[in-house]
């Protein structure tokens, strides 16, 4: 069964791009590539997002809040974590830049 996930699903309202794949890994890899290249958003590597291991860049401490929200939404949409485990900052504009 094919999985689809769009930038809009992640809260990026000014982008119509959609990832399509067979696994959560396929989707996360495409999302990371797209957001880094087209939206200039500095996400952790796909493997780190899939594992949920943010020891190098904790979601709630040093990471840009917009990036943390995108990662939470991505993991939620792919059923990688339960809804409501962390706060959500709301809509995220495209072209968000992370330090």
Residue 19 CA to residue 30 CA, distance in Å, equals 6
Q: What's the pLDDT score for residue 18? A: 98
Q: What is the pLDDT of residues 36-62, one digit of tens each?
A: 999 999 999 999 899 886 655 556 567
Q: What is the pLDDT of residues 6-24, one digit of tens each?
A: 999 999 989 999 999 999 9
Residue 55 CA to residue 6 CA, distance in Å, equals 27
Residue 15 CA to residue 12 CA, distance in Å, equals 6
Region of 3 on the Ramachandran plot (φ > 0 left; ψ -120 to 50 alpha; else beta): beta
């Amino acid at each position: 069964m094919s999985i689809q996930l769009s930038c809009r699903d992640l809260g990026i309202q000014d982008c119509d791009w959609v990832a399509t794949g067979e696994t959560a890994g396929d989707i996360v890899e495409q999302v990371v590539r797209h957001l880094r290249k087209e939206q200039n958003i500095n996400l952790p590597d796909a493997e780190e997002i899939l594992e949920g291991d943010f020891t190098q860049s904790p979601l709630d401490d040093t990471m840009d809040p917009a990036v943390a929200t995108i990662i939470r939404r991505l993991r939620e949409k792919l059923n990688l974590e339960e809804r409501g485990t962390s706060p959500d900052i709301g809509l995220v504009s495209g072209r968000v830049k992370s330090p």
